[in-house]
Amino acid sequence: MAGGEVVLLDLFASPFAARVRIALAEKEVEFESREEDLSNKSPLLLKMNPVHKQIPVLIHKGKPICESLTIVQYIDEVWNHKSPLLPSHPYQRAHDRFWADYIDKKIYPNGSKLYTSSDHEVKEAAKKELIESFKVLERELGDKPYYGGNNFGFVDVALIPFYSFFYSFEKLGNFSVEAECPKLVPWAKRCMQKDTVSKSLCDQHKVYEVVLEIKKKLGVE
Ligand code: GS8
């Protein structure tokens, strides 16, 4: 697959872009990554995602696909020759989509408040909900090696990019994910043993640097 045929409007520290990088790596699809500067968005980004003007955008044969979970599902359908991410049974597919949606509603919206809000009460409430959500997700994992069962699947792709944020969440929220959710970190480390994941994720300390920059820019104490 030639690079020009698959282009990703990307951002190295973005957990949403990381989902797409992992899915493409799982399918062994070559792609051209174009790093966006969100303070100075490219004309291509504004043209390809005129509604949200956000990354990631996958451009396949010139046509844009937006929203990370939609992109991952598209990738799974187009490159269906290997590493299926969603299960084949409609009920199991619905189940996976439910959990990916839960992750979208709970993890970033709460986690990001730890560095975008100065309000102590807002941050405490966000931290509490974040930890509760991790516990719910840990229960859903149960004793399975992956959310996809014995294989790395759609829910794993949706959640693992936030492992890059664990250090930031812990530093800013003053808690330990491992102490709260002892099975979640081993799951993340299991995912990180896959090259497709480790090469697609941003280092936890780099993410923390980005988070501190955002804090400074927003004037958050
Ligand atoms: C979220 C993408 C997003 O937040 C998805 O793809 O799943 N629901 C979307 N993108 C951010 C960068 S990552 O924090 C973004 O592009 N922000 C720029 C902006 O909102 O102006």
Q: Are residues 94 and 171 in the same domain?
A: yes
Alpha-helical segments (H) within 53-203: 68-78, 90-111, 113-116, 120-141, 154-159, 166-173, 177-180, 184-192, 195-198
What is the pLDDT confidence band of residue 146, given thresholds at 50, 70 and 90?
Answer: very high
Q: Judge contact between 163 and 207, C-beta under 8 A.
A: no
- DSSP lists the bridge partners of residue 58 as 8, 65
Name the domain boundary from 78, 105, 125: 78
Q: Are residues 191 and 105 in the same domain?
A: yes
The pLDDT of residue 1 is above 90: no
Q: Number of folded domains in the chain?
A: 2
Q: Are residues 66 and 98 in the same domain?
A: no
CATH number where 98 lies:
1.20.1050.10
Atom of ligand 1 nearest to the CA of 36: 16
Q: How far is the CA of 26 from the centre of ligand 1 (A)?
A: 22
User: Is residue 85 domain-resident?
Assistant: no
What are the pocket residues of ligand 1 if the criterion is a CB atom closer than 6 Å to any ligand atom?
A: 11, 14, 16, 38, 53-56, 67-69
Q: Are residues 175 and 202 in the same domain?
A: yes
pLDDT tens-digit series, residues 30-87: 999 999 999 999 999 999 999 999 999 999 999 999 999 999 999 999 999 999 999 9
Q: Which of 149, 169, 159 is nearest to 201 (CA)?
A: 159
Atom of ligand 1 nearest to the CA of 69: 7
Atom of ligand 1 nearest to the CA of 13: 13
Q: Are residues 98 and 166 in the same domain?
A: yes
pLDDT tens-digit series, residues 85-107: 999 999 999 999 999 999 999 99
Q: Are residues 138 and 208 in the same domain?
A: yes
CATH number where 69 lies:
3.40.30.10
Cα–chain center distance at 4? 24
User: Is residue 169 domain-resident?
Assistant: yes
User: Is residue 1 domain-resident?
Assistant: no
Domain that holds residue 15: 6-78
* Mean pLDDT estimate for the chain: 96
Q: Are residues 115 and 180 in the same domain?
A: yes
User: Is residue 84 domain-resident?
Assistant: no
